[in-house]
Amino acid sequence: MHLDILRARNGIMLLLTARLLPEPGSLSNSEVEAVARSRDLALLQLANESEMEMTELLEIIDTVRDSVGKLVVIKKVYSRRAKVYEYGRHFG
């Protein structure tokens, strides 16, 4: 992350769009979750990679900090194809 930019501009916002695996059981349509998990399994088999789960992303975000503050999730916006997270800087 570019902490120097965040330090210089208190009002800055970072938007991250990512294809994340849904949390198990979090979707009302189980077929959508099954398709996402099948796609993740195919990615693992074909490229030895996998899609990130939201808990993994939040753990990474929690490590972005310095002596002045840290990066926090302000708002989660869901779209049909991806989740969009709005991040800001938390002081204190």
Domain that holds residue 12: 3-91
Domain count, the chain: 1
Side-by-side strand order, sheet with 14-18: 14-18, 83-91, 69-78
Residue 91 has pLDDT above 80, yes or no: no
pTM of the model: 0.59
Q: Which residue has the tokens 């049909």?
A: 80
Q: HSE of 72 in the Cβ direction (CA atoms, 13 Å)?
A: 7
Give the residue with greater pLDDT, 15 vs 10: 15
Tell me how far apart the alpha carbons of residues 3 and 71 are, in angstroms, rounded to a whole number.
9
Could you tell me the pLDDT band of residue 81, with boundaries at 50, 70 and 90? Answer: low
Tokens of 42: 């195919």
